[in-house]
Amino acid sequence: MKKLNELQSRIGYDFNDIELLKTALTHTSYANEHKRRMIKHNERLEFLGDSVLSLIITTYLFKNLSSITEGELSRIRSTIVCENSLKMSGDQFDLSHYIYMGRGEEQTGGRNRSSIVSDAMEALIASIYLDSGYESAERFVLSQMKDIIDKAIEGKLFKDYKTQYQEMIQKKSNSKIEYVVISEEGPDHQKTFTVGLMLNDRNVSTGEGRSKKAAEQKAAEIALEKINEH
């Protein structure tokens, strides 16, 4: 309980239902190692948090950047809601320190894994949303991610590989880009995803990662390398 209170103090939000916070911080590996205790993990909250975060950022950009085109708004948003940005945001209050994680995951460096921290960040956003509504979640996001949002608007934040690839392709043509999951291997707490990058229904590269997002980024990175080689 002490760690939970400490985290609440660091993020400036006190939960009405502390169980929501516990669930947001529980990685699947921890739940799997304690199956008899029927512990909930954070994957469902992550799913919700992804949408809540996207709505918050989309609304903020729409209201504050009235002269920016739809395409540019999408580009800015994608740099804010990506895995790296969420990891950076979580690192500001040492989120990884508070995640409940299985021993196996811990021993393989899971506590510093970007996908795990970014997923926990999305789950945390969802838990605040469920605990006291959209406005509370919005205050949390806009407060914790202010520097990231400002840098993205100024164009000073990194561009993720997917965004870079999309921009490069769209300069030359109006081609259809799609990411398709080819396979999922391994136990729930240590899955490896293989994703194919499809350009006009043709596979141009494949990438692997511990999450779908990471695999997509890897596929885009490889596709960019192929373009730069020519």
Q: Which residues carry out catalysis? A: 50, 122
Four-CA torsion 219, 220, 225, 229, nearest 10 degrees: 110
C-alpha separations of 136 from 131, 133, 141, 143 in Å: 9, 6, 9, 11
Name the amino acid, one letter, at 87. K
Q: What are phi and psi of 149, to 5 degrees?
A: -60, -45
Structure tokens at 89: 């945001």
Whole-angstrom Cα distance, residue 222 to residue 161? 9
